[in-house]
Amino acid sequence: MKVILLADVRALGKKGDIVEVSNGYARNALLPKKLGVEATPANMNNLKLKKAHDEKVAEENLEEAKALKEEIEKWTVEVKIKTGEGGKVFGSVSTKEVVDACEKQYGKKIDKKKIVLDVPMKALGTYNLTVKLHPEVQASLKVHVSEK
C-alpha cells in the first residue's frame, strides 16, 4: 500500500514522502496514529498543492527578510547606559535593551533571539551585531552605546 507520510517516521521516511508499506502496517500503525494517509489521487493532489503553497510562503518570507535586512543595515541604534566615574559602565547592554531601543527609535520589532551578541557590550562605543533574519539572510546592526 502506498502511504503519504504526515510526519517523520524513523526508518521509513520524512514528512511528505510517498512510501510503500505493507497493508497491515499502514492500517494498524500509520493511519490510526495519523502518521500517514493513503496515497489516493485526491490526497496526492492535496500534497502537490500543499508543497506549492509552502514553497510560495517560503519565498515570501525570504523576500521579507531581504527587505528588512536592507532597512536594518541603514540603522544606528542609540542605547544609553548608566556609567560611573571615569566612564566605567555598570553591567552590560543586553539584546533586550537593543530590541527595545530599535522599537522606540524605528518602530520595528526584532526578535531578541535573532540577535547574535559575539562579545558583551561592557564599554561605551559602537558595536556591530549580527541579526539572523532567515537561514539565508543575515543583517548587520550598528549599535552605539552612550552615557545616560
In this structure, the dihedral spanned by the alpha carbons of residues 117, 119, 121 and 123, taken in order and rounded to 10 degrees, is -160
Q: Which secondary structure element, helix H or strand E, spans residue 126, and what is its range?
A: strand 125-134
Which pLDDT score, from 0 to 100, does residue 91 have?
86
What does pTM read for this prediction? 0.72
> Is 80 exceeded by the pLDDT of residue 45?
yes
Which pLDDT score, from 0 to 100, does residue 103 have?
94
- Written as one string, the DSSP assignment of 128-145 is EEEEEEETTEEEEEEEEE
Grid cell in block for residue 26: 499502514
Residue 120 sits at φ, ψ, to 5 deg, of -65, 140
Task: For residue range 73-122, list pLDDT tens digits in order.
Answer: 999 999 999 888 877 888 889 999 999 999 999 998 899 999 999 888 88
Which pLDDT score, from 0 to 100, does residue 88 have?
81
Mean of pLDDT values over 120-147: 92
